[in-house]
Chains A and B, each alone.
Chain A
Amino acid sequence: MLSLVDVDLGYNQQIILPKVNLSFKANEHVAILGPSGVGKTTLLHHLYQQLAEQTCLCSQAQGLVDNLSMYHNVFIGGLARYSRWYNLANLLLPFNKPQQQIAAICQQLELTVPLQQKVSELSGGQRQRVALARALFQQQSVFMGDEPFSALDPLMGLRLLNLIKQTHQSVICVLHDAELALANFDRIIVISDGKVVLDDKAGQLSLAHLSQHYALADSPKHAVA
C-alpha cells in the first residue's frame, strides 16, 4: 500500500526522524508506540498525506468546530461527497438522509446526546467519540488515529476499536496503551530516540520486549489518567 524509503520526517525544516524505512500493506492493523515527543504524530501525519485519498484521520487535536452541533461536526467527514451547495444548505437546515446516517453512527459509538447539541457542551470522552464519528462518516478504507481512545474507559475503547476494525480495511494507530496494542493489533512499530527501534508482529512480542525499548508505566491500566 505504501513504502517509505529513507524519508526524513519533521516540520519547519527540523528533522525529527531521519531516514525512515517502513512499508505498510493493506488489510494490516498497525500500532505505533513510543515515548512522548518522539515523532509518532509526525510519522502519522506524513502517512496521512501520502494516503489522503483513501484515508480518514482522527487526529489528537480532533479538529472539532466548537460552534457547530454534533451533527454538523460529524457531517464534516462527508463534505467531499456532496456538492458545495448541498453542504451550505445543510449548514442552514440539515438534510434528512445524512441525519439518519449520522444518528446511526452516533448510536454505534454510544453517543446518546441529541444530534443538535453543540460540541462545546460535550465532555472529553464525548468529544473524542464525535471525532471518531466524523472519521467513520468519511467511509474510507484506511483509518488513521492519533490516540483515538485516550479519553475513553478501556472497555469502551476496546469496543470502538473493534468497530473501527470492522469498518476499515487497514488501521494505523498511534497509541500509548501497550497492552491494548499487543492484544488487538497485527503489527507493532516502536519509535524511540529518533528512529524505528522495533517493527514486528504483535503475536511475537510481550510487554517485556517493549520495555527494553522505552520505559512503560508499571501498570498503565491502573494509573490515574
Chain B
Amino acid sequence: MIAYSRYSFVGHWQKITLLLLLMVSVCWFFADTEVIALDPWSELGRMWQGFVHPDFFATEYLLDALWQTISFALFGITIGLLLGFPLALWYQHPLVAAMCAFIRAIHEIFWALIFLQIFGLSAITGILAIALPYAATFARVFADILQQAPMHTLFSLPKGTDKLSAFIYGRWMHMYPQIVDYIRYRFECALRSSAVLGFIGMPTLGFYLESAFRQGHYQQGGALLILFVLLIGSIRFWAKPIMLWLYLPLAVYFLPPIPVIDSQLIWRFISVDVLPPMLQGQPFLSWFDTDKLAQLVNWSYTLISQQVFPGMVATLVLAFCALGLTHVLTLVLLPFNTRLMMPKVVILIMRAVNLILRSLPEYLLAFVFMMLLGPSMLPAIIALALHNSGLMVFLMSRQADSVSVPLTYRPRIDQYSYLVLPAIYPHFMGLLFYRFEVIIRETAILGMLGVMTLGFYVDSNFSEIRFSGALLLLVFTAGLNVVVDYLARRLLHYPRNRLQAC
C-alpha cells in the first residue's frame, strides 16, 4: 500500500491561496491600520439623515449633471470602440500590445489631469480621458475574446475563402454575444468613470457629489448617490443597443460648447512644461552638457528616492491588503448570492446590496470610512475591498448559478463546497488576480484622498504645477502596472474569459 502524505492533497489552487494569504499578512503587518476614533457619530448620524431624507431639488443643475455623466460615458465608449476594434486586430504585434498596456495602466483620472493642462475644463478632456484607456482595454479584451473562438470552423472552411469572410463568419460570429456583453459591462464602468471625473472638476455627477459631501450637505449628497445607483442599476432598461442611435446624436447636439483649443498652450505644454526644470527654456543641444546631465540625474534621483519608491511600496502594500480582504469577502458573500444556496428572496436583496457596493465610487466609500476610522490606510483598504468584492460577487454568482449539479444536490454548505466551489475556484482566482491590476490602478483615486500611494504624489505634483515630476511618476506607475500584469500572467494561467476588466 502506498502511504500518501496528508499534504499531497494540497492542490495547485490551495497553494496559490496560501501564498496569497501569506503575502497579505506580511503587507498587513507593514500597513498603517491604526484606528483613530474621532467621535464620528454625530457626523455619521447627519450623513444617515441625509440618506433617509434625500433632497432631490437641492442641486441646481441636477439633470444637466446626469446628462453630462451619460454623454461623457457614451462618447468615451464610442471613441474607445472606434480605436479599440482595429487595435484588437493588430494586438498580436508586441508594439501594439505594449502601447496598449502602457495606456491602460494609467488611470482615467490621471489622463484627465494631463488633458486638463492641454484642453482645460472642456468636454474634450473628459471624453478623451475615458476613450483612451478604454480603447486600450477594448483592444486587449477583444483580442483575448477572439482568440477563444474555436478553431474548427476555420479549419474546415472551404479552401479559397477570403480573409474577411473567414474572420467574420469563422471567428467574430462565434464570440459576438461575449463582445456585446462586454461592451455593455464596460458602459457601466464608463458611467462610473465619468462620474469620478467630476472629482477633478468635470461637470458630471461626481463634481456635485464631492462638493455636497465636502460641505456636509448630506441631503443633497444622498439624493445624488441614490440617483447614481439607480442610473447604474437600470442600465439594462435604458441602454439597449438600438437606443444608442437616439442617444448619440442627442449627445452630440447637447455637447457643451467646446472652447477654442489654444495651440500655443498645447505647444507650450509639450515643449516646455513637461521638461524637468533645469532643461526648460534651454536650447536642445545644451541638454547634454555635463552639468545639465548631472542636475538631471540628481533631480530624478531625488524624485525616485523620495516619491516614486515610497509611493510604490505604499501602493503595493495597500493593494495587497485590499486584495486579501476582497478574497475573503467574496468567498463569504458568494454563497448568499447563488441560487444553489439561497432562496430567491435573499438573492434579490443581495443583488441590491451588490449593486450599491459596486456602483459607489471607492473614493466616496473611503471618504466615509475615513470619518469613522481616522486617517490611515484602513479606510482605503476597506473601500477598495468592498467595491471589488461587490463586483466579484456579481460576476462569480453568474458563474456559480451555471454550475450543473447532480439531482441529489441540496443547498447546504458542505455540498456547495464539494460540488460548486471547486468548479468555480480556478476562475475565481484568475478573476481575483486580474482585479489586482485594477486595484493598483484604483489606488490612484485614493491617493487624492491623502493615502500616500503613487497617486498621491502624482496628484500633488500636478497641483504644484510640476508636470515633469508628475509625468515621471506616471511612467513609473504605468511601469508598475505592466510588470504586475506580466507577473500575474506568468504565475497563473488566467482564465481566458476576461469579462471582468474595469
Contact = CB atoms under 8 A, between A and B. Distances in A.
B159 A63 contact: no
B156 A59 contact: yes
A64 interface: yes
A217 interface: no
A72 interface: yes
A63 B173 contact: no
A65 B156 contact: no
A79 B158 contact: yes
B351 interface: no
Interface string A29-72: 00000000000000001001000110111110111111110001
Contacts of A58: 156
Contacts of B166: 79
B181 to A, nearest CB: 12
Nearest to B177: A67
Contacts of B150: 61, 63
A63 B177 CA distance: 17
B169 interface: yes
A67 B90 CA distance: 25
Contacts of B177: 67
Interface string A102-129: 0000000000000000000000000000
A45 B152 CA distance: 11
A134 to B, nearest CB: 8
B164 A65 contact: no
Nearest to A137: B158
Given A65-B169, A67-B173, A76-B170, A53 B153 contact: no
A41 B162 CA distance: 26
Interface stretch (A3-11, A81-89, A161-169, A194-202): A81-89
A109 B160 CA distance: 26
Contacts of B152: 59, 61-63
Chain B: interface secondary structure?
A: helix
Given A79-B166, A84-B165, A88-B164, A65 B153 contact: yes
A28 B266 CA distance: 74
A138 interface: yes
Interface string B391-423: 000000000000000000000000000000000
B174 A72 contact: no
B168 interface: yes
A4 B32 CA distance: 72
Contacts of B157: 76, 79-80
B169 A91 contact: yes
A75 to B, nearest CB: 8
Given A68-B173, A91-B169, A84 B158 contact: no
Contacts of B155: 45, 57, 59, 63
B113 to A, nearest CB: 41
A171 B150 CA distance: 26
Contacts of A78: 158
B159 A52 contact: yes
Given A87-B165, A91-B169, A76 B153 contact: yes
Contacts of B161: 79-80
B176 interface: yes
Interface in B175-195: 176-177
Q: Which of A53, A63, A91 has the most B CB atoms < 10 Å from its CB?
A: A63
Interface in B121-175: 150, 152-162, 164-166, 168-170, 173-174
A107 B176 CA distance: 29
In this complex, the interface size class of chain B, counting residues with CB under 8 Å from chain A, is: 20 to 34
B156 A63 contact: yes
Contacts of A79: 157-158, 161-162, 165-166, 169
A80 B174 contact: no
Contacts of A45: 155
A91 to B, nearest CB: 7
Nearest to B158: A80
A77 B153 contact: no
Given A61-B150, A62-B152, A56 B173 contact: no
B281 to A, nearest CB: 56
A78 B162 CA distance: 11
B149 to A, nearest CB: 9
Contacts of A66: 174
A76 B159 contact: no
Nearest to B149: A65
Q: Which of B154, B159, B168, B177 has the most A CB atoms < 10 Å from its CB?
A: B159
Contacts of A57: 155-156
Contacts of B168: 87-88, 91
Nearest to A88: B168
Contact of A84 (B159, B162, B170): B162
A35 B157 CA distance: 28
A104 to B, nearest CB: 19
A93 B161 CA distance: 20
Interface string B94-110: 00000000000000000
Contacts of B153: 63-65, 76
B441 to A, nearest CB: 32
A67 B170 contact: no
B169 A87 contact: yes
Contacts of B164: 84, 87-88
B153 to A, nearest CB: 4
A213 B100 CA distance: 57
Nearest to B153: A63
Nearest to B165: A87
B147 to A, nearest CB: 16
Contacts of A48: 156
B19 to A, nearest CB: 31
Given A63-B153, A87-B168, A88-B165, A80 B160 contact: yes
Q: Which 3 A-B pairs have the closest CB atoms?
A: A63-B153, A61-B152, A80-B158
Interface of B: 150, 152-162, 164-166, 168-170, 173-174, 176-177
19 contacts: A53-B160, A59-B152, A59-B155, A62-B152, A63-B150, A63-B155, A65-B169, A66-B174, A72-B173, A76-B153, A78-B158, A79-B157, A79-B165, A79-B169, A80-B162, A87-B162, A87-B164, A91-B168, A91-B173
Given A61-B150, A81-B158, 4 more contacts: A55-B159, A57-B155, A68-B169, A138-B158
